[in-house]
Structure 1
């Protein structure tokens, strides 16, 4: 048992970043983690392994469809599924071991086991009770069930994103319930591997909350890639029998009943805060109706000395949002000024093409009655994109009609997840679209499309 300045519960992107920042600020820090490896959902069964699979299958797609066009002749590669899963595991190990190294370097104690908070200032792990002046809850999230439906995950035939990353073989058919980020990313992984993928979504549009034009373009591109969509469908039940799964659903437009069958059903209806076993009820920590821990602007709960960050509190369930909060919360505990600009948190979907968004959508601006202008540029007008068979999509920048200040940006196209950060930095500095338009961009790069969209907010793009 030891006394600490800070104990963090959870070692995901929020927890481990908070721990490192606390240590950098001179606080005696420990992090509680029950998994065998550090890094939480993101590094072990989420962002990192899924990106490895997306990368591997994109390489396969390029070999099958584009190599010959570039004069790279030869037999298309065959898929060694076992080796692909090994590559994914090696990627996970490299990253989780990296966090372990950073903990040692920063003299952070890893308390192995599952933590609970018997009272403020104390964290119990196993039979040991550790004392801390401050506790940060960074317990993350778990897969949420299908609303109003009878679905039990077995992680063999009816699977979550975790099961989708370790299937023993590539299924011939797959139904994905939910057309959000996780469903579309993993759906496109298996589609590239030859699986017939059907996406069933309750709403009438994919990627809820995203820019309407991006939603339409993205769905059209994914259809072209072989994914099929059943929209406006309320799933009633999912059952498994004899190595097959059956999904029953009602179409909302006419209340008609339907059934679909597949080898595997991926439930991708989002995530919910994971706070089981922490003892928050007994402590009297305020929890919202959606199961989120309530915090103030400094990530404090209503119980003094207890803070919360990441997926278990309000806001987008994004690793980088949790990281930002982890750093800011550490600053607050150390007596400094921690800050997160929630208006500039990018969101990315790592399909091909990628989709990236930051700030306001056109729909939100219209609803708020904000006068704006939209500058748009298609990747068809970008020399680098055309050369690389990546000319699908566009960049759209939204700027205030009067001041020209950038209010949001929406990109669907090559490297969108990287390109968006130019706009993030611009927005942090309160830049105008003209500021981006007047900045020299190297040629030939994808980033020129961002400049062209900024030019389109003024007198017009050059190459369109």
Structure 2
């Protein structure tokens, strides 16, 4: 039985990063992952790379190019007659992007001497695992596909999450699909229903809306994007509705039935405003959240258990209650974000190697890749008010920036919150073009405990969208120049 310093279970953005970092630190590392692609072949990268972050962004970019071609470029004096959508080519490009990156991770594993075991890992004891290989071309009786055991001084659980299912809405992967299915449509549905108007629902809805589908989002919450800044959510709802997304709040779906043979449709039933409602769509996407994956791990053999939400309890350093066993990413507390998982993975690897890295959860950025994009970090006005923390805010509209007008992208604004006494930056909320890139400046500033005055004193290139950060920081003290 081979023994390793670290065995990582899961090769998503948390697991593969943890394995690579441990390898960089000179540890003997193995990574066990059960993911298989559409062809049944083992694949690294987890949900994020295979059916999440990366393929969705590929489609978002492709669909945005088409939208700009038909809606934005004519104002620039660019006209292309007869422009159309080729979904098969778009899907091939998406798959190529993921394939390139998966191959890249394989190369990084080899470079850092990480042993990759495709298959399911299960605890036999705290420091011992059974690996059931993913069946390969040689069949279940080949030597390569027999079960085996490995020993580990340390184990990092990074098994991620899976789409949440609704008992009243059975996913058949034909007419009723989850987020994975919605990334693989072979044609644009005429009418698309999406259960959930959160991050996943909005991004998928944006893709197919731009390509010509009539999209209806059914959201059970009474408030749009309740986790975001209220002002951002209100403006985003207005803009997305203007783009053609039909967002129905307070809509609780309780039935979905497929009917019809020649042209099947999905009948959706829901309650909204105390009244019974129904609609018919060609495809229905269930995008109502995700749930941690721990099935098959035999956690009890390691003395572990999950909480009421299916998560593995950990402390601030991702340590479970069992010595030498760690858990990171979507399977533990906190936001289900790929970059949060990656940072936890690096921190745990370094801790195992004897270092003491900090984990800064207060400065984790959030992004919704709609267009315009939504990005934020730190506290909201509502949370500060609830805690009785006095603050000042600076708000600056992007329409006051020359670069925004030059590109024809003037929707949105930037808001920065500073402590009323110390001026330390408490949060930032962006709605606008390239918000996902702009938020990084504020994240860095907050990580170094900067004040809004620090941001206000930094020279920003002109003309750029980053000037909006500068102006919002100036606005905290009431001295924005261009608004």
Q: Same fold (TM over 0.5)?
A: yes
2:29 matched to which residue of 1?
Answer: 29
1:17 matched to which residue of 2?
Answer: 17
Q: Find out whether 1:257 has 2:263 as its counterpart.
A: no
Paired with 1:77 and 1:329, the residues of 2 have a C-alpha distance of 50
Q: 1:245 aligns with which of 266, 270, 275?
A: 266
Paired with 2:71 and 2:99, the residues of 1 have a C-alpha distance of 31
Equivalent residues of 1:293, 1:308 under 8 A apart: yes
Equivalent residues of 1:286, 1:301 under 8 A apart: no
2:129 matched to which residue of 1?
Answer: 123
SS in 1 for 2:235: helix
Q: Find out whether 1:81 has 2:87 as its counterpart.
A: yes
Equivalent residues of 1:157, 1:265 under 8 A apart: yes
Deviation string 1:139-178 (CA, Å, 9 cap, x unpaired) is 00001123xx511111211111100011122100011111
1:294-309 superposed matches below 5 A: 294-309=313-328
Give, in angstroms, the shift of residue 282 of structure 1: 3.9
Paired with 1:173 and 1:446, the residues of 2 have a C-alpha distance of 36
Paired with 1:296 and 1:239, the residues of 2 have a C-alpha distance of 44
SS in 2 for 1:452: helix
> How many aligned positions are there?
460
Q: 1:381 aligns with which of 400, 423, 426?
A: 400
Equivalent residues of 1:286, 1:302 under 8 A apart: no
After superposition, the CA RMSD in angstroms is 1.0
Q: 2:97 aligns with which of 85, 91, 99?
A: 91
Deviation string 1:167-221 (CA, Å, 9 cap, x unpaired) is 1221000111111000000001000010000011111222231100010000101
Deviation string 1:403-435 (CA, Å, 9 cap, x unpaired) is 111000000001000100100000011111010
Give, in angstroms, the shift of residue 27 of structure 1: 0.6
Paired with 2:267 and 2:440, the residues of 1 have a C-alpha distance of 42
Give, in angstroms, the shift of residue 122 of structure 1: 1.1
2:189 matched to which residue of 1?
Answer: 171
2:425 matched to which residue of 1?
Answer: 406
Q: 1:45 aligns with which of 51, 56, 69?
A: 51
Equivalent residues of 1:63, 1:76 under 8 A apart: no
Give, in angstroms, the shift of residue 124 of structure 1: 1.0
Paired with 1:80 and 1:71, the residues of 2 have a C-alpha distance of 24
2:153 matched to which residue of 1?
Answer: 133
Give, in angstroms, the shift of residue 298 of structure 1: 2.0
1:276-295 superposed matches below 5 A: 276-295=295-314
Q: Do the aligned partners of residues 62 and 76 (structure 1) sit closer, same or farther apart at CA in structure 2, a change above 3 Å counting?
A: farther
Give, in angstroms, the shift of residue 297 of structure 1: 2.0
Paired with 1:2 and 1:77, the residues of 2 have a C-alpha distance of 58
Paired with 1:248 and 1:42, the residues of 2 have a C-alpha distance of 31
2:391 matched to which residue of 1?
Answer: 372
1:362 matched to which residue of 2?
Answer: 381
Equivalent residues of 1:180, 1:208 under 8 A apart: no
Paired with 2:426 and 2:333, the residues of 1 have a C-alpha distance of 22
Deviation string 1:89-137 (CA, Å, 9 cap, x unpaired) is 0000011111111001101000111111111111211210011111100
> Unmatched 5+ residue regions in structure 2?
36-41, 133-146
SS in 2 for 1:182: helix
Q: Find out whether 1:192 has 2:210 as its counterpart.
A: yes
Equivalent residues of 2:375, 2:431 under 8 A apart: yes
Q: 1:70 aligns with which of 64, 71, 76?
A: 76
Higher alpha-carbon deviation: 129-138 or 66-75 = 66-75
1:227 matched to which residue of 2?
Answer: 245
Equivalent residues of 1:64, 1:76 under 8 A apart: no
SS in 1 for 2:280: strand
Equivalent residues of 2:48, 2:338 under 8 A apart: yes
Q: 1:324 aligns with which of 343, 353, 371?
A: 343
Give, in angstroms, the shift of residue 338 of structure 1: 2.5
Equivalent residues of 2:220, 2:251 under 8 A apart: yes
Paired with 1:304 and 1:43, the residues of 2 have a C-alpha distance of 31
Q: 2:360 aligns with which of 331, 341, 350?
A: 341
Give, in angstroms, the shift of residue 76 of structure 1: 4.8
Paired with 2:359 and 2:233, the residues of 1 have a C-alpha distance of 28
Q: Find out whether 1:460 has 2:466 as its counterpart.
A: no
2:462 matched to which residue of 1?
Answer: 443
Give, in angstroms, the shift of residue 233 of structure 1: 1.4
Equivalent residues of 2:126, 2:303 under 8 A apart: no
Equivalent residues of 1:136, 1:309 under 8 A apart: yes
Q: TM-score, normalised by structure 1?
A: 0.98
Equivalent residues of 2:376, 2:439 under 8 A apart: yes
> Unmatched 5+ residue regions in structure 1?
none
Deviation string 1:329-381 (CA, Å, 9 cap, x unpaired) is 11111111022111000000111101000000011011011001110000000
Paired with 1:399 and 1:43, the residues of 2 have a C-alpha distance of 36
Q: TM-score, normalised by structure 2?
A: 0.94
